[in-house]
Amino acid sequence: MTAAQSGRELLGSKDELTLQTDVVIVGSGASGAVVAAELAEAGQQVLILEEGPQISAQELGGLRPSQTIRRAWREAGMSFAVPLGETPAINVMMGRCVGGSSVMTGGVCFRTPDEVLHEWASEHGLSELAPDRMVPYFEEVERRSHVELVPAELRSRSTELFAHGAERLGYALQPNRRNTKDCDGCSRCNFGCPHQAKWSVDLTYLPRAGRAGATLLSDCLVERVLTHGEQAIGVSGRLLDEHNRRRRRFTVRARRVILACGGLHTPRLLLDSGLGEGRPAVGRNLTLHPSFRVMARFDEPVNGWRGALQSAHSHAFSHERITLMSVFVPAGVLAATLPGIGPAHARRAAAVPHLAVFGGMVHDDAGGRVHSRTALLGLGGLLARREPLMTYSMSGRDRRAVSRLLRVLGETFFAAGAREVILPILGGVPGARAGGITADQLRALDLDRIPARRLECTSQHPLGSCRMGTTAERSVVDPSGQVWGLRELFIVDGSILPSSLGVNPQISVMAMATRLAWQLRERPLPEL
């Protein structure tokens, strides 16, 4: 094998492919890439397995957003958490390519809030995660990823208008920090930066790992963790062809197994491997940061795509478990999400240059769960899918926070001079003209009475489904990241974070992975 190779290149033989290494890492995203670089530089033989394809920055830059969604997002961006109770269906968007979701993020880089780290240290007994203990890992990641403040000149007119409304209502926006250098504000971050200005791990940590001797195999689906007694000894799965079909079998024997598949696929892999037995927390405690956006129409041209996709935020409502975040997507994508059918939709789409957008997320309770597919025997076709089934039940206080979030966004836009706002309510507001409402209509609207199933909701932050803790009854991994009761099986991704963060998790995930990698490079490897 070469240093970076596609599994498609190894499909010529029907014989099972057998490989051997010191460390096998499943997943090449924000956490897996960090650990691969650190362990390879420590002299360990590292093999990285990635289900998705290798897509160069040049190729991404030449794709339309719709093509990127099909090529590099998991399930073409159509993964959903099944709603239970008074809960919206949540579209969970994840990258499926070399570099993982780090390639598809807006690049926002928050450190884990101190109050969250205090909670982990005090309520979860994880004293090593106290704020002062985590500082070196944050600093290391920020240095390696070139985290910088978004300059004022990269704010879009959409964000400037919202900031004007916020000032009128007595609160302010602060500039975001992002892992960028020489960003020109093309607003394509969620579809792969065409200019290599976003320092995602495919441009930073994975090249480091490769220079240190690590090998990366893409188009490679891991289906099982292999164990012998109470020790992990490798993984097995199938190589994928150009149509994403499972083909040649492979087995990797390793002295240490590290899972970095993310908040959905790490518990899926454990459950599919029969490792949920005796570990009741596997797949539970999933948090998603349910996110919503509001659009507003102004008389003046806004052209909100001119500027950084995510340039500013506000914590003014964090005491209500709300974080406000600027966002704007390419005009074609935005137009596709507007209300209306036929001529009504065409009229709405023609007004895209006059639209501003702002969003926000809820610091949610752990209402989600990733389910074992072996429990779905009565659901037929679902068993053939490699995607896990996830369910989510929104807590009462989270649902109230959603209403508050939407009202704040709408009121802020009206304070900025908007003619109307478009709330993320499927089917629109009763009596509203073509989906938009006036300030008077917003004041009269009881948002708590809108059925949650009618709310358009997204997430890019699945966390906590294999959370870290101090007991096997309440967590999946111990403070070192090792799965309870299984030697040499470690988890390093966002699934181990003990709770939601209330902020974008990229830096939290990478800092935690750095902490675990620095411990692992000092930990002797066992014999095979």
Task: Please give the positions annotated as active site.
Answer: 461
**How far apart are the C-alpha atoms of 517 and 209, rounded to whole Å?**
13
3-state secondary structure 258-279: EECCHHHHHHHHHHHCCCCCCC
Burial class (CB in 10 A: 0-12, 13-18, 19+), 301: exposed
**Is the alpha carbon torsion for 60, 63, 69, 75 positive or negative?**
negative
Residue length of the chain = 528
What is the Cα 342 distance to its own chain's centre?
33
Amino acid at 177: R
Pairing of strands 17-26, 46-49: parallel
3-state secondary structure at position 333: helix
What is the number of other CB atoms lying within 10 angstroms of the CB of residue 342? 7
Residues 6+ apart with CB under 8 A from 135: none
Locate all alpha helices (DSSP H) within 170-280, ordered by sequence: 205-211, 262-272
**Three-state secondary-structure class, residue 425:** strand
DSSP string, 346-369: HHHHHTGGGEEEEEEEE---S-EE
CA-based Rg of the chain, rounded to a whole angstrom?
23
Q: Are strands 457-459 and 90-92 parallel, antiparallel or unpaired?
A: parallel
Strand-pair partners of 468: 477
- Residue 440: φ, ψ to 5°: -65, -40
384 DSSP 8-state letter:
G
In the numeric block, the tokens 């960003």 are attached to 183
What is the phi/psi pair of residue 484, to 5°? -55, 130
Tokens of 402: 């959603």
Beta strands in 153-197 (DSSP E): 174-175, 177-179
Contact (CB, 8 A) for 73 and 104: yes
